[in-house]
Structure 1
Amino acid sequence: MSIKPGERLEMIYIDHNNKITQRTIKVLRSNEDTVLAYCYTKKQVRTFKVENILSTQPIRRMGA
């Protein structure tokens, strides 16, 4: 999974309680294990485990 700083993504994530959520995030940094991102859903910076990310999709801009 190639996630770059500055990217805005729609993400499907499963948390430690096995709850699946859809998030809109802006990636701040990432490595092979985690993604640090601003979560627009929770309105705060969050750390996501790469192994728990089920899918990502870039956010398309209107008119693009």
Structure 2
Amino acid sequence: MKAQIQKAFKYQQLIDMMYIAKDGSISKRRVKILSVAEDSFQAYCFLRHKKRTFKMDNVLSAMPVIHKERQII
């Protein structure tokens, strides 16, 4: 998971992730990673509209957001 997060940070990609909180609740979040530390990372969370700190161990899945361009013919 750490490699995916570092790659998203390197290429400035948005990611959709499933995250488990301290209380055990699971949420789906779209984030833009701002910085990466050893066991955590800071990101702008579009769900909460704030900068948040996330623990790497609590990320259940992470997928890059892919924008496809549409052609008008």
**TM-score, normalised via structure 1 length:** 0.90
| Identical-residue share of aligned pairs (%) | 33
Q: Paired residue for 1:44?
A: 50
5+ unaligned residues in a row in structure 1: which ranges?
A: none
1:61 Cα deviation from its structure 2 partner: 0.4
User: Higher helix fraction: Structure 1 or Structure 2?
Assistant: 2
5+ unaligned residues in a row in structure 2: which ranges?
A: none
- The match for 2:41 among 32, 35, 38 is 35
1:35 Cα deviation from its structure 2 partner: 1.1
Cα distance between partner residues in 2 of 1:52 and 1:7 = 20
Cα distance between partner residues in 2 of 1:13 and 1:43 = 16
User: Higher strand fraction: Structure 1 or Structure 2?
Assistant: 1
Provide the alpha-carbon RMSD of the alignment.
Answer: 1.5
Larger radius of gyration: 2
